[in-house]
Amino acid sequence: MKGFYVPCLLVVALALTLSACEKTEENSKKLAVSPAATIADAVYPIVGTDTLNNILPGRKLPKARVRIGTGLEDVYPNIEVQVIDTICAEYLNGTQKVDLSNLAEGSVNHTIRFNGNVLTTDPDFTEGRFRKLSHGVNGWWTHWNYSPYTESEYPTVLFAQGRSTTDIFPKDEMSIAFKNEVRVFGFEIAPNKTGEDLEVVVTYSSKGADYRWPFLFEVSQTISSPSGARLIAVKSKYPFGYINISVRSGLVPFREQGFAIANIRYQP
């Protein structure tokens, strides 16, 4: 995967990096719906559910937006980052997908292990978990999105929820810490609410950071359900060990909408 960096003083130019992934539309192909799982006691998304409208026509979606953090110039001069918001060969060939097959269907997970690294949810407050859901009537029932915005149309997802194994209360915000810092990390995300465009903001911080630490940079994107999941992938000059994901309605967070992520990828 070729490195491509831009200086922080030319933040506007970051938008040009999005063209690194060719946005050639592919013919959409319906996939067979998997059998209904028996582990879930709710239908996901659980806000605004309408089973008559589980897939929408493809549409052109806006690009991701990037903002560089402030107050870190002495420690991290000239922060540079590449953002990829559509699937392309460069991204797929330069990363590995996190294997979720070892997680039980319907399980609620605080840690996910991959290739010697460990992903931990809500390390500061331990209030959040990810529930593994497959596509289906009792899983994530809506269509994810079409190429080139997502890698697959009906993926297995991780649904952000409260810490209890029985609590399906969705979380609008989730922090993720890595045992070992990474420079390349990506995932697809869709909101736990149908019929509305929402904003997701992802901030990236150094290892050992917590909710009080200034971020290196942040990426914001528009997402929706169904057929509106988006890829958010970054390649950073400086390694990061902590990210925070927040889904908002306009500029207001914490509306009990929540989200799910899928197709998590990283560079070893």
Q: Is the pLDDT of residue 215 over 50?
A: yes
In the chain, what percentage of residues exceed pLDDT 90?
60
CA distance 44 to 168: 10
Closest CA to 145 of 268, 41, 57: 57
Residue 49 resides in a domain: no
Q: Is the pLDDT of residue 19 over 70?
A: no
Cα-based distances in Å from 3 to 81, 148, 236: 10, 21, 9
Residue 15 resides in a domain: no
Scan for tokens 């592919």, then name that residue.
26
More confident residue, 84 or 252: 84
Give residue 257's pLDDT band: very low, low, confident or very high (50, 70, 90).
confident
In the chain, what percentage of residues exceed pLDDT 70?
78
Residue 76 resides in a domain: yes
Q: Quick one: average pLDDT of 171-182?
A: 92
Residue 11 resides in a domain: no
Token digits of residue 221? 């994107």
Query: Tens digits of per-residue pLDDT, 20-54?
Result: 454 433 333 333 233 333 445 678 998 887 767 89
Residue 97 resides in a domain: yes
More confident residue, 202 or 138: 202
Query: Tens digits of per-residue pLDDT, 136-161?
Result: 888 999 999 999 999 999 999 999 99
Q: Is the pLDDT of residue 55 over 50?
A: yes
The alpha carbon of residue 114 and the mean position of all alpha carbons in its chain are separated, in whole angstroms, by 17
Residue 115 resides in a domain: yes
Q: Which of 6-15, 126-135, 183-192, 225-234 has the lowest mean pLDDT?
A: 6-15
Query: Tens digits of per-residue pLDDT, 72-105?
Result: 888 888 899 999 999 999 999 999 999 999 999 9
More confident residue, 110 or 31: 110
Q: CB neighbours (10 Å) of residue 221?
A: 20
The whole domain housing 101 covers: 62-266
Residue 167 resides in a domain: yes
19 in helix, strand or coil?
helix
In the chain, the number of structural domains is 1
Average pLDDT, the chain: 82
Give DSSP secondary structure letters for 134-179.
Answer: -SSTTSB-S----TTT-S-SS--EEEEEESSSS---B-SEEEEEEE
Residue 20 resides in a domain: no
